[in-house]
Amino acid sequence: MPSATLPVAHLPIIDFSLFTSGSPEQRLKTAREVVDAFKTAGFVYLVNHTVPDELVDECFQWSKKVFQLPQSELTREEVIRPQPGNGAKSYIARGYTPVGREKVSQDVYADDTLKSLRQVEDVKELYDIGADKGAPAVREPNRFPPRHLLPGFEDFMINFFWRCHEFGLDIFRAIAIGLGLDEDYFVNFHQDADHLFRLIHYPAVSRKALASGQKARIPAHSDFGSITILFQDQVGGLQVEDRKNPGSYLPASPIKGSAIVNIGDFLMRWSNDVLKSTLHRVIEPPADGEQEAEEGNEMTQERFSVPFFLQADRHKMIQCVPGLEGETGPKFPPITAMEYLAMRTDATFRK
Ligand SMILES: O=C(O)CCC(=O)C(=O)O
Ligand SMILES: [Fe+2]
């Protein structure tokens, strides 16, 4: 059911049910609004989308449980994510990544403050999951904990993966229709479900260390892939650059029942920079009055988030989206997702 009133937020909020089950007019109007949001903010909240709230809640419960497993189990050879360039057979992450391993990097880190921020540890641990079926030539084996340690985890995550994949394809249909293309234009490039589904846990950390820059959650970055669907808990701390005031950030506060969707660098390039991939970061959350007062306000709460990074089929060559060439033509030569993502992922991991 379409929502009567939507909460106030700094980013556009769109009722996605008007696209998935509205009239043809509502569908077209919503698709255009989605495209408009991606051309301006690069980010949007979608409410009344197709991944039910209960499933999202359950995903967070499983995420909590997996990160509570003993480190000795999570860092076993079969479970831990192999480091790129270190015997890793794939270019897409699978498995557990302990705190301190991954460091986001961003070419736009031009000034000294941001450069020095890159020396700071990101206090987060990750669990990366991929498709369990699809084109065998490109399927990365998942690295789940042994089933007896967390019965039900693997089955839940695989089901959730496909729900997010379907949701993602609907978002691609909206983008295509909003751009005046055939509705399957982007869907046809995302047939292998070559995505990265990630559970993130940000452990509680000293508020002072975060505020002073000794430690980080996630410094400013843009995502690499086509689009990202993000679910977050109620803790907060996510911020998105205000495109009207570069360098200043606006909170992307949690809105229950919503998914935040943003454009990645690959789709920005593909769209000839028409759809915008916008910088975002995770900083210390707003103080939670009661709980943090009790703790002397020294530690933040822990935080959980679930990004689902949709990525194009790795061997398909992409060229400027038809109709977006502009007056000066395509700005970038054709490239495959594999070439592009390998280049970006390489820069992310501490060697
Ligand atoms: O945790 C979040 O809310 C954002 C995560 C994020 O931006 C990323 O993993 O790329
Ligand atoms: Fe991100």
Please write down the long-range contacts of 80-87, taking CB distance under 8 Å and 24 or more positions apart.
80/143, 81/126, 81/128, 81/143, 83/349, 83/351, 84/345, 84/346, 84/349, 85/346, 85/351
Please give the pLDDT value at position 288: 67
Q: Is residue 249 part of a domain?
A: yes
Q: Is the pLDDT score of 294 beyond 90?
A: no
User: 109: pLDDT confidence band, cut at 50, 70 and 90?
Assistant: very low
Quick one: pLDDT at residue 35? 98
Is 19 within a domain?
Answer: yes
Top-confidence residue, 139 or 41: 41
Domain annotation covers residue 3:
no
Number of domains composing the chain: 1
Q: Does the pLDDT of residue 90 top 80, yes or no? A: no
- Does residue 119 belong to any structural domain of this protein? yes
Pocket test for ligand 1, best of 238, 239, 260 (most atoms within 8 A of CB): 238
- The verdict on residue 8 lying in a domain is no
Q: Which of 26-30, 83-87, 126-130, 295-299 has the lowest mean pLDDT?
A: 83-87
Atom of ligand 1 nearest to the CA of 228: 10
What burial class does residue 332 get, using C-beta atoms within 10 Å of its C-beta: 0-12 exposed, 13-18 middle, 19+ buried? Answer: middle
Distance 344 CA to ligand 1 centre (A): 16
Inter-residue contact 124 to 202 (CB < 8 Å): yes
pLDDT-based confidence at residue 116 (cuts at 50, 70, 90): low
| Interatomic CA distance for residues 312 and 315, integer angstroms | 9
Q: What is the pLDDT of residues 139-164, one digit of tens each?
A: 889 999 999 999 999 999 999 999 99
ipTM over 0.95? The verdict is: yes
The reply to whether ligand 1 has any atom less than 6 angstroms from the CB of 271 is: no
Query: 210 CA to middle of ligand 2, Å?
Result: 18
Query: What's the whole-model pTM score?
Result: 0.92
Q: Tell me, what's the pLDDT at 346?
A: 65
Across 194-212, average pLDDT: 93
User: How much is the pLDDT for 10?
Assistant: 87
Residues 226-284: tens digit of each pLDDT = 999 999 999 999 999 999 999 999 999 999 999 999 999 999 999 999 999 999 999 99
Instruction: Assess if residue 252 is contained within a domain.
Output: yes
Judged against a pLDDT cut of 80, whether residue 308 lies above it is answered with yes
Q: Which of 280, 306, 349 to mutate to test the pocket of ligand 1 (most atoms within 8 A of CB)?
A: 280
Query: How far, in Å, is the centroid of ligand 1 from the Cα of 282?
Result: 7
**Protein residue whose Cα sits closest to atom 10 of ligand 1:** 223
Q: For the sheet with 238-241, list strands across it.
A: 218-221, 280-282, 238-241, 249-251
Does the residue 2 lie in any domain? no
At residue 320, does pLDDT exceed 50? yes
Whether the predicted pLDDT of 295 surpasses 60: no
Q: Region of 95 please: left (phi>0), alpha (psi -120 to 50) or beta.
A: left
Among 198, 239, 305, the mutation site with the greatest number of ligand 1 atoms within 8 A of its Cβ is 305
Helix H segments across the chain? 17-20, 24-40, 53-68, 71-74, 112-117, 153-178, 207-211, 265-270, 289-294, 337-346
Q: What is the DSSP string of 246-265?
A: TT-EEE----TT-EEEEE-H
What's the 322 CA to ligand 1 centre distance in angstroms? 30
In a domain, 6, yes or no: no
Look up the CATH number of the domain holding residue 292: 2.60.120.330
Residues having C-beta closer than 5 Å to ion ligand 2: 223
Strand partners, 13: 45
Q: How confident is the model over 215-229, as pLDDT tens digits? A: 899 999 999 999 999
Range of the domain at 276: 13-349
* Ligand 1 near 218 CB (within 6 A): yes
